[in-house]
């Protein structure tokens, strides 16, 4: 793990200005992704409280913000006032991308409709993240990531079959919608190179989840098969499961024919690979439970360390269920700088995930920690960029506009 002092290479999006509005995860994660690759992200926060994400985390350690707020500058503006809206409009007039994740119609209520903003700035790309998208009968409904996960099909297939639907331990619906929003923004930037015009990117939570659900819908529509919760396995894909060891659990994924033969060799049971019940993908799927029991009986006799070395030597895809402590100690994470440390004025050496994916020529990076205070960059942005004087800024602050 390497430390950064806030001065990595500029990044692929150097020179692109992003204005980020909205709170919590979906919009801010999109802004973080763009900022990681060099965009100048100016986040507009409510005066005083700032983004609610600043309060998220374990008691005494609100660290969500430190990741999603990195590589951003913070200004404050009360967007429910005409003066706050005017400040936002001036910032957006000089921006390349606007990100917002309010309920559809909110921008329009504030006099910041896409039509008006793009009339002033025809090159503007407006990224809109919402629960159900900007159109359709559900567009006006409130939507959080968990609702998108449920509607998009994710929640129904996660968990054990004899228990209610479960969730992942992270806000995957928000993160997926943000990632697709970022993809849309980059596609719109490329289109702007040809047309000179911006456009609207409409990313909904439920469609982002739907997009990663593989053949869920055609499985039902064509094959009359509805996927259900299956615990730690995928039905018909074997062996691929979490198996007990003498001191824990270990994941082995040997469902391809050639890989399964290598696993059988490592087990000292090469005949399993020739057994008609297990010799093919279909056969292994039909006998999944009994095959898992055979493998589990073997893995129970080995420590996790021993099993890991055996699987690596045999060329069988396998791995531990990593904790943060495992990640911080692992040589692969270190070799690829998957985790970095940033110099933070409050937390000292603060570890977090690096920019991703890796680019060979114009890599991303963490250039600055998340702003410590809402409006930390009011003077730099409103003063230097918009030309407001210190007295004007003081007046705006006294009246609760910033």
Cα angle, residue 101 at apex, residues 98 and 103 outer, rounded to 5°: 125
In the chain, the largest separation of any two C-alpha atoms, in whole Å, equals 83
What's the CA angle centered on 113, arms 107 and 118, to 5 degrees?
A: 135
- The predicted-structure confidence for 212-263, as pLDDT tens digits, reads as follows 999 999 999 999 999 999 999 999 999 999 999 999 999 999 999 999 999 9
- Which residues on adjacent β-strands are paired with residue 242? 251
Q: Tokens representing 204?
A: 């909904």
Q: Which residues of 371-392 are buried (b: 16+ CB within 10 A; e: fewer)?
A: beebbbbbeebbeeeeebeeee
Q: Which residues of the chain have pLDDT under 70?
A: 1-8
Q: Which of 96, 174, 202, 377 is catalytic?
A: 174
Is 174 labeled as catalytic in the residue annotation?
yes
Partnered with residue 339 across adjacent β-strands are: 353
DSSP string covering 161-218: TTS-----SS-HHHHHHHHHHHHHHHHHHHHHHHHS---EEEEEHHHHHHTTSTTHHH
Q: How far apart are CA 400 and CA 46, in angstroms?
A: 10
- pLDDT at position 1, please? 54
Interhelix angle 288-299/257-267, rounded to 10 degrees, is 40
Residue 32 CA to residue 311 CA, distance in Å, equals 37
Q: What pLDDT, on a 0 to 100 scale, did the predictor assign at position 24?
A: 92
What are the CB-based long-range contacts (under 8 Å, 24+) for 104-110? 104/128, 104/130, 104/133, 104/134, 104/139, 104/140, 105/140, 110/79, 110/80, 110/85
CATH numbers and ranges of domains, the chain: 2-212+339-398 (3.40.50.10540), 240-325 (3.30.1540.10)
Token reading at 152: 């998009």
Q: H-helix or E-strand containing 35?
A: helix 26-36
């Amino acid at each position: 793990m390497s430390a950064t002092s806030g001065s990595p290479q500029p990044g692929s999006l150097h020179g692109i200005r992003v204005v980020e509005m909205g709170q919590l995860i979906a919009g801010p994660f999109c802004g973080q992704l763009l900022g990681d690759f060099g965009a100048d992200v100016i986040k507009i926060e409510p005066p005083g409280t700032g983004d609610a994400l600043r309060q998220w985390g374990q008691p005494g350690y609100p660290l969500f913000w430190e990741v999603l707020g990195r590589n951003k500058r913070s200004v404050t503006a009360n967007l429910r006032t005409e003066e706050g809206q005017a400040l936002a409009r001036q910032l957006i007039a000089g921006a390349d991308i606007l990100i917002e994740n309010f309920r559809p119609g909110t921008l329009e209520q504030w006099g910041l409709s896409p039509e008006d903003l793009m009339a002033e700035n025809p090159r503007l790309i407006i990224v809109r993240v919402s629960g159900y998208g900007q159109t359709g009968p559900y567009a006006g409904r409130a939507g959080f990531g968990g609702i998108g996960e449920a509607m998009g099909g994710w929640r129904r297939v996660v968990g054990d079959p004899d228990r209610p639907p479960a969730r992942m331990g992270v806000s995957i619906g928000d993160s997926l919608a943000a990632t697709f929003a970022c993809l849309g923004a980059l596609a719109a930037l490329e289109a702007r190179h040809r047309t000179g015009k911006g456009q609207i990117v409409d990313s909904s939570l439920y469609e982002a989840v739907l997009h990663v659900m593989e053949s869920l819908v055609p499985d039902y529509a064509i094959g009359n098969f509805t996927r259900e919760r299956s615990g730690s396995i995928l039905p018909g894909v074997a062996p691929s499961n979490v198996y007990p060891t003498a001191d824990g659990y270990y994941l082995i994924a040997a469902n391809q024919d050639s890989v399964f033969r290598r696993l059988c060799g490592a087990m000292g049971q090469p005949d399993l690979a020739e057994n008609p019940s297990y010799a093919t993908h279909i056969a292994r799927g039909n006998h999944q439970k009994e095959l898992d029991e055979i493998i589990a009986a073997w893995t129970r006799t080995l420590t996790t360390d021993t099993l890991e070395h055996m699987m690596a030597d045999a060329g069988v895809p396998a791995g531990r269920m990593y904790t943060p402590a495992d990640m911080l100690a692992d040589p692969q994470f270190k070799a690829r700088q998957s985790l970095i440390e940033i110099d933070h004025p409050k937390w000292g050496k603060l570890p977090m995930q690096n920019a991703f994916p890796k680019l060979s020529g114009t890599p991303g990076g963490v250039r600055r920690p998340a702003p410590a205070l809402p409006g930390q960059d009011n003077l730099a942005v409103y003063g230097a960029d918009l030309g407001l004087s210190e007295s004007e800024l003081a007046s705006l602050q006294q009246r609760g506009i910033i």
